[in-house]
Structure 1
Amino acid sequence: MKDPSYNRTWINKTVNEDELSSYGKDHKGKLFYTMFPIQDTSYRFKVQFIITADTHTNVDIISEYAEINRTMIITTGVEYINIPSVVVNLETGRSYTTFFISADQLITVVGLISEFSCNSDCESSSFIVLPLTVLDKEYSLITQPNNIQNCGIIATATNTTIVIEIDLKSKISVGNAIIQPGQNINMVLDYLEGFNIQTHSNLTATKIYANKPIAVISGNKYSSQKVVTKRYPYRRYHSDSVYESMIPIDKWCRHFIIPPIHKASSFIIRIISRYRNTTITIKDNSSWSIAERGDQIEIELSPKSYYVSASNPILLCMYALTEGSGISMMIVPGIEHFSKEYVIAPPKDMFSTNCITIIIKTSDVNGLRFVGNLLTVESTVIMARNESFTTVVKTMTGHSVYKIRHVSRTALYGVVVYGFKYDSAYGYPAGFRF
């Protein structure tokens, strides 16, 4: 039920430029807007926020649904907040099943969806929630084609005008409206109002414009990945749910290192470019390389580390198929996005294996410091931008808080988090610097 005492106007007045200017633009923040853009009544889902902090922190989660609103104090570095599954049963079109998260100290927020119990064909997904300080007004979407696709948009201010340009081959229904090929979706959203699209039409490279900052989540209710074997030359693995927060277009970059993923059996990368006819070059350490040209590219790769460079800014998304046949989706941080001081906590009692992969300049490896017991699984070296980078895969040995630091204040590095169990997987970038 909606909370009759909820006052959207009062909350909006607490968000002002003076408050936002006191901290930087990376994955940590004090104000967050998000939603879970999935419409599913078939299963009982566990919906959760994983919120981590470096210090004693007060956190408020606010929604128009009374059972979601709550206040908590982070004292041990992490809080797991279970959310009623009503948030994944929303209709397409306008929705107030959205969240405003505020804190008095810097926090990192991760959203997680997983089935309560299943023996096969399990589904799960995770995404990092970007803070208000890095949100902007222009986005493009990445999804897997030929599956049920979703997009969620959240307004952070009143009277937010939004235009969605979808390259449709056939008409689709969104809420009570029918959208024809060549027709844009135009709307005005109120503060903390969301908009949910679910369709079989390909949403990849769909452009979204707004006159005020918005948050955008994109992905697939069902995602599948084909693996060719001698016994099953056309075998297609079961479906999994995959979602990610989209990065504003003006924060895309050109240089990436695709991280190795523990126990992955194959990769698919999907790339969209800010400009047409972008050249993409992919290299590994054996001098193998390919070059592709276009503004939408999909490439199948063997599961190892690669250096990807582009002639124009791009958004690069990786789908990893694990040995248990779960699929994870993650936006790959560019080298220009590398940050520092990550605080990570794996999902609680859901996945048998939880891992991180760190990407760092080889000359900086010895300066890494960790809080929490992480066991090194493998380490590889790859050349990128005429520099040597090392990728280190580590497994988490428990369900505690893991902190990653460096002795040098100037050292920057990327971290991705992922895990899996039979038939299910999750993955997300641990952070960005913009």
Structure 2
Amino acid sequence: MITILKFIPIQDGLYCLSCTDGVSPRHCHYVMKCSEGEVCITKSHLSKNGLVVFDTGCLSIEKCHSGQINVSDSHQLQQAVDQRTICFECCSSDLCNQKGCGQIGYPSPRGPVCFNCPQVSNPTLCDKIKVCDKSQECYIQKEEEFGDIIYSSGCIRKHSCRAHTDIFGKRNAEHCFQCCSSDLCNANCDAVPHLSTTPSTTVKTTTAAPLPRGCLGKEFLVLFMQNHESANESLLVDITTADTSYMHVTSSPKLNQTMKVIIDRNLLFTSYANFTFPFDMACHESVTEYKAVIIRTTELTGVTSFDSNDPFTNDGTLVIPTHKLSTEYLVSAIDGINVGPYHASQFAIGILHNNTQLSITFRIKDNKPITIDGVMFWSGGVYNKSFDELETFQVRHGSDLTGTYIKSNKPVAVFSGNECLDSSYSMCSHTVSQLPPIDQFDNEYIIPSFYNNSGTLIQVLSPFDSKVNITIGTNIISMLHLTEKEYKNIKVTTNEVTIVKSNRTVMVTGYAMGSSSNDPYMTVIPGVHQYLDYYKIVIPDKYRDNYLCVIIPTGSFNNLHINQTPVGQFGIVYQWSVISSGKSFDVRTILVKEGVYTLGTTDQVPFGLIVYGHRINDGYGFAGNFVSP
């Protein structure tokens, strides 16, 4: 039986759904642009298995009126001789055949139907579509890469479009970004109609997403410290977000233009992305350079960086968003077995704003002098200088610089570590961590030892006159009195958990001391009051073994899920329980593979996270968060 339905006069160049043997017209995710004089059709028929299936596409208006099918017509749907047509229907508006033959159409309310192609050389070649959520609208982007013009299109959250426009601008000669809110409006980047001006609204759901906190943000300053002279691999950045975000990477206008062209970029990414910078972006000692990079995003994101992708000397750090940066810092570093130029203690400062006045009060082990700008400084000496936006300044010394005090009149970013740290059990490897400002320190820490290392060195650094209680395992080993800017290094075995509690805030840094199968690395340790109930991180590739170490209140461990999977389904290589401030905590170290991981508790109980990994002659480590929530 063939049914021809009456339709209104046709429009020019209709867009019609175009699929074969679909379960329902509205589930077709492909479109075709009809020729002049054609309309949309829907045809239902029995498949070879006796199921009712649907064909959609374009057909000439004359054939619709006659109800006849000409299988030689390339614009018509093909029908096998053993199939029986049940319904044949024509309509004459864009996407009208999504509810053809009496089927249920698109849901209401809904977002627009958008072209959805991640990469095409011409937007007219995109034949895929997606029905957006009501909180989304369509976008189209045009970019140049390697001299080629590439277009991408799809759905994006409404406020992301506005944020993208605010940060990156609407268009320029090489790039175009547009949002719109009507069906199939993102067909052309040069003339997108119906730009959305509808204010975003908050949609309440019964299972709200975890509130982003801590080191998540929308702007980050990234820099890379000097690595061992043998390192020459690219500098790496990983970035994660809960949904889809635009990212804009910009370097100083004073940077060498050849380098700037390589660094500056715009990128749309979903869930996570990684990208590299040339190794020449690493800082050099005692010279003002233009090597800070700003990363801005439209959504809340987390960023980690690696000072080299070199297989023998690498380390990573969590990057602090700029709204958490401040004006006072203390440097953390240690001495290795060898002391000298290639094992130097070092720190680097990235400048956010013009006319930043910087003051560095040195604390140098053994009071060995350091020379900067032709002037010698001993421990207690003060170096002052003014810097401008996105400038960097690195200080490097053969002796330990821990306790060096950095003060500025405007917020800055500070990174520290060792050019190449060795131990009696390993070769040397680069260590780095961004440092939290003093106003982000905590007064209570639970520090697991790094698994599969010869030992862990814990450094407690106090900005104030403090009384610090240190417990290793079940034994209180010491009550320390640390004076202002004084520190204490504590060595523990590979299977002990240490608790540090202070009457005033301190910073705690952990150093993995390496082994015969991996080299040292470091990370700032998260304080108990800095724990979060949700994290999203990237485990880098090319490492032999990788670990997620969680410090979680007892009773909530079984509520922990990793990538929406109960934690009990993962391999646990180490477990311990401790009591701090009258509260019991479980420490668990979990073996994982490379990839993207989300960790969250179903009861929203905060927990600490430390991430690290090993390969021969190398290791890396970083925390899930080490600033206030």
TM-score (ref. length: structure 1): 0.86
More divergent stretch after superposition (372-381 vs 241-250): 372-381
The answer to whether the 8 Å contact 2:458/2:491 transfers is yes
Contact 1:123 1:424 in 2 (8 A): yes
Over 6 Å off, 4+ runs: none
Question: Contact 2:222/2:319 (CA < 8 Å) preserved in 1?
Answer: yes
Match of 2:521 among 328, 347, 351: 328
1:124 to 2:318 alignment: no
Residue 353 of structure 2, aligned match among 153, 157, 160: 157
> Corresponding residue for 2:457?
268
- Partner deviation per Cα, 1:57-109 (whole Å, 9 max, x = no partner): 1112211322111222222x221211111112635321111110000001111
Instruction: Give yes or no for the alignment of 1:144 onto 2:334.
Output: yes
- Alignment length (residue pairs): 396
Preserved CA contact (<8 Å) 1:372 1:402: no
Q: 1:215 aligns with which of 400, 404, 413?
A: 413
Contact 1:40–1:89, Cα closer than 8 Å, also in 2: no
Residue 263 (structure 2) aligns with:
68
Residue 45 of structure 2 is matched in structure 1 by: none
Distance in 1, Cα, partners of 2:394 & 2:513: 27
Secondary structure at 1:351 match in 2: coil
CA distance in structure 2 between the aligned counterparts of 1:372 and 1:340, rounded to whole angstroms: 14
When the two chains are superposed, the root-mean-square deviation of aligned CA atoms in Å is 2.2
Equivalent residues in 2 for 1:22-41, closer than 5 Å:
26-38=214-226, 40-41=228-229
Closer, same or farther in 2 for the Cα pair 1:39/1:380, shift >3 Å?
A: closer
Task: Determine the C-alpha separation between the residues in 2 that align with 1:173 and 1:293.
Answer: 32
Look up the match of 1:105. Answer: 299
- Could you tell me which runs of 5 or more consecutive residues in structure 2 were left unpaired when the two chains were aligned: 1-165, 169-210, 253-259
SS in 1 for 2:394: strand
Does the alignment pair 1:286 with 2:474? Answer: yes
In structure 2, the partner of 1:179 is 376
2: CA distance between counterparts of 1:196 and 1:152? 4
Distance, in Å, in 2 between the alignment partners of 1:365 and 1:41 is 44
Match of 2:275 in 1: 81
* Residue type of the alignment partner of 1:377: V
> Aligned residues: percent identity?
21
Equivalent position to 1:250, from 412, 425, 439 = 439
- Max radius of gyration: which structure? 2
Q: Tell me what 2:489 maps to.
A: 298
Structure 2 contact 292–391 (Cα < 8 Å) conserved: yes
Contact 2:328 2:406 in 1 (8 A): yes
> Does the CA-based 8 Å contact 2:423-2:514 persist in structure 1?
no
Correspondent of 2:598 among 391, 403, 409: 403
Post-superposition shift, 1:365? 1.6
* Conservation of the 8 A alpha-carbon contact between 1:339 and 1:433: no
Task: Give me the whole-angstrom Cα distance separating, in 1, the residues matched to 2:560 and 2:212.
Answer: 22
Aligned AA for 1:328? Y
Q: How far does residue 14 in structure 1 lie from its aligned partner after superposition?
A: 6.3
Question: What amino acid is the match of 1:133?
Answer: H
Structure 2 counterpart of 1:299, one-letter code? I
Q: Give the whole-Å Cα distance in 2 for the aligned partners of 1:149 and 1:366.
A: 41
Contact (CA 8 Å) 1:261, 1:393: kept in 2 or not? no
Kindly tell me: are residues 170 and 379 of structure 1, through their superposed partners in 2, closer, same or farther at Cα, counting changes over 3 Å? closer
Q: How far apart, in 1, do the equivalents of 2:309 and 2:543 lie?
A: 12
What is the CA-CA distance between 1:344 and the residue it aligns to? 1.1
Contact 1:285 1:383 in 2 (8 A): no
**Larger RCO (alpha carbons 8 Å, 6+ apart):** 1
Q: Which residue of 2 aligns with 1:312?
A: 504
Q: Return the alpha-carbon distance in structure 1 between the equivalents of residues 564 and 314 of structure 2.
A: 25
Shift of 1:290: 2.8
SS at match of 2:513: strand
Cα distance between partner residues in 2 of 1:138 and 1:14:
29
Code of the aligned partner of 1:205: G
Q: Deviations over 1:13-37 (max 9, x none)?
A: 969xxxxxxx976110000012112
Q: Kindly state the Cα deviation for residue 259 of structure 1 after the two structures are TM-superposed.
A: 1.9
How far apart are 1:131 and its partner, in Å? 0.3
TM-score, normalization: structure 2? 0.60
| Cα distance in 1 between the residues matched to 2:353 and 2:212 | 21
CA separation in 1, counterparts of 2:475 and 2:369?
A: 46
- The 1:54/1:196 distance shift into structure 2, 3 A limit, reads same
Aligned counterpart, 2:545 = 353
Q: Using a 3 Å threshold, how does the CA distance of structure 1 residues 105 and 407 change in structure 2: closer, same or farther?
A: same
Separation in 2, partners of 1:136, 1:25: 17
Q: Aligned pair in 2 of structure 1 residues 185, 365: CA closer, same or farther (>3 Å)? A: same
Q: How far is the alpha carbon of 1:279 from its aligned partner?
A: 2.8
2:315–2:619 CA contact under 8 A, matched in 1: yes
Q: Which residue of 2 aligns with 1:45?
A: 233
Q: What SS does the corresponding residue of 1:345 show, helix, strand or coil?
A: strand
Counterpart for residue 386 of structure 1: 582
State the match for 1:4 in structure 2.
Answer: none
1:402 positional shift: 0.6
- Which whole-Å CA distance do the structure 2 matches of 1:223 and 1:393 have between them? 24
Q: Return the match for 2:537 from 333, 344, 352.
A: 344
- Indicate yes or no: 2:562 matched with 1:370: yes
Conserved 8 A contact 2:436-2:626: no
How far apart, in 1, do the equivalents of 2:167 and 2:266 lie? 16
Q: Which amino acid aligns with 2:274?
A: Y
SS for the counterpart of 2:389 is coil
Q: For residues 115 and 338 of structure 1, do their structure 2 counterparts lie closer, same or farther at Cα, with a shift above 3 Å needed?
A: closer
